[in-house]
Every structure is written in C-alpha cells, then in structure tokens.
C-alpha cells in the first residue's frame, strides 16, 4: 500500500503478491538503461521466449511535472504515453495510444488523497470501455472495488472488491474477483531477524470449479546486494529465485520452476540482466 492514504485498488495485497510473482520468469531477458541530466532516459530490451526473440526500445523524457514515453517494439508497435502530475491537487492524468491501432487510445485520471483514492479510465473510441476503481481508508486499513463497463455491450464486464489490513510487521488482504467467482486471502509477515525478509501465505478458491490453491513463499535478504525467494503450492509447483545487484542499479536475476509431483518433467529456467552504466 502507498505510504500516503489508502493507496489504489491495485495496491491491495501487492506486497505479498510481489513475493509470490515478481521477477519469476522462464524467459531470457537482457536490458540496458541509461539516463542523462537533461531528463532523457533510454532503455533497450531483448527477450528470448520459447525459441522466439523480440525486443523493444523505450525513450522517456521528463520536464517539470510532465513525462513523455515512447516505446517501439520489433512488431512495429509504437506505444506513446503522456503523463502530467499535479494537474490539480493530488491528481495526475495519463494519455496513451498504441499505433497502428488507432482504437487503443485511452485517457486516465488518478487521484490519491489522505483517505480516498480512485482511477477513472476512458477509451478514446466511439463506444468506449470505462474503467473505474476506488479505495477508502488509511494506510493501515482500506476497502476498495474496481469495475469495467462496456458501452458497446451496455453491461459491466468486470467487478472486483478487496480489503486490506496493514500493521507494522504484517499485512493481510482479501480480494473477491472474477465477478465473485474467485477469492484470494493472503497474509504476510516481516522477518526483522532476517534483514528484512518476509514469509507469505495465500489461499485462492474458484467457486465455479471448487478448486483451491494454497501457496506459501518467502524472501530472504542475504546481504545488501543479494535476495533469495522461493514459493511452493499444493499442486507441487516449486519456484526459486536469486537476485544480485552487480553494481548500483544493475541486477542479475535467475529463476527456476519445478514440478515436484512429476520429476521427469523438465524444469524451466529464466534469467534477466539489467545494466545501468
């Protein structure tokens, strides 16, 4: 959750979700990034996944309260994003479009105050989709919901709700998703004796299929440059990750996924290298 106010709906359960999902991958990824005093940031990424290679180049320019971002990939898609912070107190606007799809344009407003936060996004088409999310509360306890409405179908296509509690050394969240068909309950506890490590447990249930999944995970700060993470669920899926800071803001991440109930199945490995000279 954000240190100011309740945070956005997407922040509910984020700390535990990051331990269980963030940086785990089965791809090979190489990224090089550079920054200039003029406010221009450049980043190039190459990815190899399932034998296929792709890449993109991103340029971001910052000036006062404005940020312009251009991203071009190997499929000739051009994503342009224009962000203006403090367009009014506690609010910012984000405009984006992905060419050559002229129907991908979107305008979004984000508002974050001491006890309320919301986002409103509208597609820039004749029959736009309207996305809305809102939360109320404090940094310690917050309740929120999100929904999407399709004007072309004249119906709601998504609605979720969530609740989050945050204490000095632990946090818990409940998220009801998929139009009420799924529920996730997670609990995270900080391990101060392990230099900032944490353990997390998550139970997810899909009501339509009566399927339950229990996942436990942990992160361990080995030293100021190295972090270890691991996760295991009741279906026998085991994941492990090592992230090491090579130099300031340059990281090497290695991860693997294993099927403990089918040892004959080949494990999946991935790595990413982020270099920032």
Report CA 267 to chain centroid distance, whole Å: 25
Question: In this predicted structure, which of 36-45, 56-65, 105-114, 159-168 has the lowest mean pLDDT?
Answer: 36-45
Nearest to 175 by CA among 146, 218, 138, 212: 146
213 has a pLDDT exceeding 70: yes
223 has a pLDDT exceeding 70: yes
Region 147-176 average pLDDT: 95
125 has a pLDDT exceeding 60: yes
For the entire predicted model, the pTM comes to 0.88
Nearest to 15 by CA among 229, 177, 176, 194: 229
Dihedral of CA 87/91/96/102: which sign? negative
Report CA 72 to chain centroid distance, whole Å: 21
Q: What is the pLDDT of residue 2?
A: 41
Q: What is the pLDDT of residue 1?
A: 39
Q: Which is more confident, 224 or 4?
A: 224
Model confidence pLDDT, tens digit, residues 9-52: 999 999 999 999 999 998 999 999 998 888 899 999 999 988 89
> What is the chain's mean pLDDT, rounded?
93
Q: How far apart are CA 114 and CA 272, in angstroms?
A: 37
Q: How many residues does the chain have?
A: 277
194 has a pLDDT exceeding 70: no
Region 131-156 average pLDDT: 95
9 burial class (0-12, 13-18, 19+ CB within 10 angstroms)? Answer: buried
Phi, psi of 265 (to 5 degrees): -80, 135
Q: What is the pLDDT of residue 37?
A: 82
Region 138-151 average pLDDT: 96
Is residue 187 within 8 A of residue 199, CB to CB? The reply is: no
Q: What is the pLDDT of residue 149?
A: 97
Nearest to 148 by CA among 179, 183, 173: 179
Percent of the chain with pLDDT over 90: 83
Q: Tell me the sheet residues that pair with 230.
A: 218, 240
Q: How far, in Å, are 67, 84, 120 from residue 8 at the CA level?
A: 21, 18, 11
Percent of the chain with pLDDT over 70: 98
């Amino acid at each position: 959750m954000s240190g100011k106010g309740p945070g956005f709906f997407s922040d509910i359960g984020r700390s535990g979700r990051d331990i269980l999902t963030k940086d785990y991958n089965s791809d090979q990824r190489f990224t090089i990034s550079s920054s200039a005093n003029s406010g221009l940031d450049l980043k190039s990424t190459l990815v190899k996944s399932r034998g296929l290679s792709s890449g993109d180049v991103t340029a971001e320019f910052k000036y006062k309260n404005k940020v312009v971002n251009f991203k071009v990939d190997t499929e000739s898609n051009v994503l342009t994003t224009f962000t203006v912070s403090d367009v009014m107190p506690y609010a910012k606007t984000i405009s984006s479009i992905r060419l050559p799809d002229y129907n991908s344009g979107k305008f979004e407003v984000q508002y974050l105050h001491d006890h309320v936060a919301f986002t409103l996004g509208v597609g820039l088409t004749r029959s736009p989709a309207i996305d809305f999310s809102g939360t109320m509360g404090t940094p310690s306890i917050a309740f929120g919901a999100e929904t999407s409405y399709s004007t072309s179908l004249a119906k709601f296509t998504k609605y979720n709700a969530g609740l989050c509690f945050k204490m000095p050394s632990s946090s818990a969240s409940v998220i009801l998703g998929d139009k009420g068909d799924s529920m996730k309950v997670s609990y995270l506890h900080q391990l101060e004796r392990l230099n900032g490590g944490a353990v997390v447990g998550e139970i997810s249930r899909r009501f339509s299929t009566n399927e339950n999944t229990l996942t436990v995970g942990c992160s361990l700060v080995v030293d100021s440059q190295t972090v270890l993470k691991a996760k295991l669920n009741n279906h026998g899926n085991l994941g492990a990750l090592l992230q090491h800071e090579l130099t300031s803001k340059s990281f090497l991440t290695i991860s693997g996924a294993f099927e403990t109930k089918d040892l004959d199945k080949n494990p999946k490995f991935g790595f990413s290298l982020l270099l920032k000279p």
